[in-house]
Structure 1
Amino acid sequence: MNLFVDAFAWIFSPDRLTGSLPLPEAIAQHLAFTFGSVLLAALIAIPAGWAIGHTGRGREFAVALSGAARAIPTLGLVVLLYLLVGVVYKSQAAVVAFVILAIPSILAGAYAGFEAIDRSTISAARAVGMTGRQILWKVEVPLGLPLLIGGVRSATLQVVATVTIATYVGLGGLGFYIIQGIQLRDTAQILGASLLVVALALVLDGVFALLQRIVVPRGVAARSARPRAATRAATAS
């Protein structure tokens, strides 16, 4: 318990607002790496995933590519890119590694969202005269959005945890305090910085969980609520 008390005392110490890397700046750097990497990954993965889900072609390739990307050790990739591009582009090397880490989850969420749509819904849209573009934007994208947000949520949690290793190549973020704490053998600093990473992950997870519920179309939400209400009524009776 004293260790956690020391960790919280380290977090809220006035000293965290000064020094070579103040704590607010470290948090901002951590979030910047996270959101920047996830955004870049989304710009690549979402169009590709929607194309796969809409056309039904290329799924096997996407699954193989996602599996290969997940198998790459992120720290090894960061260090390799750092050695290849040099000190000047170390930030870019780290971002590329994080983008590669984030792509599989977003890609899977994008095409899985389309695949989960009942085919009768697509057939009904065609029957009323919708074009392929209209079906894409007015039917598939809205109905597939919850699973896409789920993929972005998963990618964000992976990246926010992995950004910590960026310190190994001289970048900032909360990992700076963890590495420094290991060098100084300061357990309170290591635990304090780790708790902040966990707190960031929990906050981001909560935000995306809420967003995932908000984007569910009203008709789908109402249809899902009716069976649950009927089950509760049957149980009560």
Structure 2
Amino acid sequence: LYQPPLPDSALLVSRQGTITHLQREVKRIKEAEQKAREALDKSKAQAAREAEAESRRATGVQQPSVDPASTPRGSLITKPTIGYVRDIDLSVFAAGFLAKELCELKHTWKDGEVKVTALNRNQSDIHASIKEKRGKRALYYDLTLMVNWTGKSKLGRSSHSEMQGVMKMYNVAQDTKFALGGDKETSYMYELGFATQFHGACEPWATQIKEEAAELFELISLLITGKLVPAVEKKGELVH
């Protein structure tokens, strides 16, 4: 059957529609490619972090070799233990160090503060040791900490109101690190706990304390990396 040709205006509309459709497809394909590249980069970065963590998990934090002839006075052991591998347990020292230093931590803001009041040793699991093999040393540590804290705020009130809570920090070891928003395979993790009356929606002062209490995560993490690890390493230097 004969079909009369479309008028120029109809052809123009049809062509414009086709061009618009193609432009959308090109944009969609480019966006899909970009997302694929980002996912690949993210996957590679995660694989690199996990590989680094696995290496540190296996080898520990390498320590400088110690010459027995240079043993300082006050060393805990003056003769090396006979054996192929030696495990120097410093867990008790680490627990005592944390119990003292944690209670110095405090986060303040305009309306109040939150501070650590105690390390709950019964609910914490603290392991720190230096392994020596063929004259080479490496530090290994694995920490799960249960910390008690107290917070106070006067937001919406004429005077301060107070509440208590706990913070559990876990996945803290020589093969993980402090990273806000990090993944559970390679980063420190934490959980906050409150009394049941503060679950869900509550008064502004209590809500503020619950939000600000999360700042203890960074303070405790920096204490571990900046003070605990160097202190354990220094203590280990006294063991020969």
Q: TM-score range by the shorter chain?
A: under 0.3
Higher strand fraction: Structure 1 or Structure 2? 2
Higher helix fraction: Structure 1 or Structure 2? 1
Specify which structure has the bigger relative contact order, considering alpha-carbon pairs within 8 angstroms and separated by 6 or more residues.
1
Give the TM-score normalised by structure 2. Answer: 0.26
Structure number with larger C-alpha Rg: 2
